[in-house]
Structure 1
Amino acid sequence: MDWPSDPALYPPYLRSCIRKRMGIGEGADYRPWRMLKELPTSGTAAVVHGIRVSRNYELLDTKSTAIFYLLERRRTISDIRERWPILDLNRTLQLAYKFDVVHPCRAGVPEPLTFDFLITDQTAEKTYKAINLFRAENSLNAREQSLMRIRKAWCDEKGVDWVLVDSSPISRTVVHTLRFIRTWYVNCYKPNAAVSKRFSERFLKEYARNVVLDELVEKTGRYLGLRPDTRLDTFRYCAWIDQIPVSLKHRLACDLPLVLRLETHD
């Protein structure tokens, strides 16, 4: 799913954005609609280099970052596009009239509605899913609800799944843990399927809930004859692909006992 790249197909006030390829393209060629520097943020925005697609992702806050990490871990997802715009303005303006809500505007002209994420899933065949985030503790007002109805109606017409995700359960601990295990990629660790399988199997045999992570990693790595500088990143990668079922709800650190999901049912 992609929008045409010819600026002449869009209203004049959108053409400069289209020329910059904002909201256009797939994979590494995609750029989000509106860059971070153009948007108000809470100070927790992040620029993250993607694992599945080699480009920088601009994420508005820690909740968005955590959702992005969770999506990256799903093996069937081949592309993730943040702030993907509905450039079909004629239709969204019609839907705004239908739902009796003022369409978003910027500088006095209609501004495209966006999804927080549009993902490409290749489970059996290529499908698309649009995601918008909200926090249950900050219930949507009437206008926000109407704008969500526009998004859903447009997706229904196009055969795109649309989901509204409550990001409230995502705590700082979840974000910290995801970042900790994702560091294997930041450290340029090169995964090896056979090594990962042997490491995770041995690690789970060594596991005891009162033993700190450093000790478990050292025992496992020494048993397998791994270089000391690769042991922790091997663990991180195994946790990232869920061969070691780490609990995201418990703080993860080298000097703390490890909690596995088997114990917590999270």
Structure 2
Amino acid sequence: MARKALKLTEKKIADMIQAGRSQGEGADYQPWIQVGNFSSEGRGHRIADIHTGRIHHFFSDLEASYYYILAWADQVIDIREQYPLFPVSDTEDITQALGYRHPRAPGNAINEVMTTDFLITVQDASGTHLEARHVKYEKGLEKTKRNRKT
């Protein structure tokens, strides 16, 4: 059960950024949303990274399982979870272009900051690059269909 609700306002977003959320890499990274910010359908996990010691926050068994796959992959240099997609105006533009309503939590006066489950720093033969990953159970894909504006 969540200790508090994460009700976003422009001030709350600014405060979260000021507090260091979604900034840094490795041991210094703090996820945008954390277990305990709100309730979720799945089990929450807080896992200490074997390389950095940082606590990772996951909202389902699937996210935690995928983290373990990434943690043992030789080419993965850094794992950042619950990574925000900033600026919000970009995700607003994308949803508008696709004809969907931008996600908004109940009671919020502003659009939500959308996140991806993982932002991974990968080192391979072509160099270092970032990969964004979103993991979801198949049954969850069916019930999260977005509402079209039209």
Report the TM-score, using the length of structure 1 for normalisation.
0.47
Q: Distance in 2 between matches of 1:90 and 1:41?
A: 26
Structure 2 contact 47–57 (Cα < 8 Å) conserved: yes
Mapped partners of 1:139, 1:34: distance in 2: 21
Letter in 1 for 2:19: K
Q: How many residues are treated as equivalent by the alignment?
A: 135
Cα distance in 2 for partners of 1:37, 1:66 equals 19
Q: Give the secondary-structure state (helix, strand or coil) at the position aligned to 1:110.
A: coil
How far apart in 2 are the matches of 1:61 and 1:135?
9
Q: 1:139 and 1:104, CA in 2 relative to 1: closer, same or farther beyond 3 A? A: closer
Q: Percent identity?
A: 24
2:149 matched to 1:143? no
* Counterpart residue number, 1:118: 119
Is the contact between residue 46 and residue 56 of structure 2 (CA under 8 Å) also seen in structure 1?
yes
Q: Structure 1 stretch 77-86 or stretch 102-111: which is displaced more?
A: 102-111
Q: Secondary structure at the match of 2:56?
A: strand
Q: What does the per-residue CA deviation read over 1:217-266, in whole Å, with 9 as the maximum and x for residues that have no partner?
A: xxxxxxxxxxxxxxxxxxxxxxxxxxxxxxxxxxxxxxxxxxxxxxxxxx
Q: Give the aligned partner of residue 89 of structure 1.
A: 88
Deviations 1:179-219 (A, max 9, x none): xxxxxxxxxxxxxxxxxxxxxxxxxxxxxxxxxxxxxxxxx
Displacement of 1:12 after TM fit?
A: 4.2
The 5 A counterparts of 1:1-266 are 12-42=11-41, 44-106=43-105, 107-124=108-125, 125-140=127-142, 141-143=144-146
Deviations 1:22-44 (A, max 9, x none): 11111111111112111213462
**Contact conserved, 2:24 with 2:30, CA < 8 A, in 1?**
yes
The structure richer in helix per residue is 1
Q: Report the structure number with the largest CA radius of gyration.
A: 1
Question: Using the alignment, how far apart are the partners of 2:12 and 2:111 within structure 1?
Answer: 9
Distance 1:36 1:66 in 2: 16
The question of whether the paired residues in 1 share the 8 Å contact of 2:35 and 2:46 is answered with: no
Displacement of 1:50? 0.3
> What SS is found at the alignment partner of 1:96?
helix
Q: Could you tell me whether the CA contact under 8 Å between 2:62 and 2:136 is conserved in 1?
A: no
Higher RCO, Cα 8 Å, sep 6+: 2
More strand by share: 2
Query: How far apart, CA to CA, are the structure 2 residues paired with 1:136 and 1:40?
Result: 20
Where 1:66 maps in the other structure, the secondary structure is helix
Shift of the alpha carbon at 1:139? 3.5
Structure 1: which 5+ runs fail to align? 1-10, 147-266
- Structure-2 separation of matches of 1:24 and 1:138: 29
Contact 2:75 2:123 in 1 (8 A): yes
Alpha-carbon distance, 1:13 to partner: 4.5
1:83 touches 1:117 (CA, 8 Å); kept in 2? yes
RMSD across aligned positions (CA):
1.9
Give the whole-Å Cα distance in 1 for the aligned partners of 2:104 and 2:25: 26
In 2, Cα distance between equivalents of 1:25 and 1:97: 30
| DSSP 3-state at the match of 1:116 | strand
- In the alignment, structure 2 segments of 5+ residues that lack a partner are 1-9
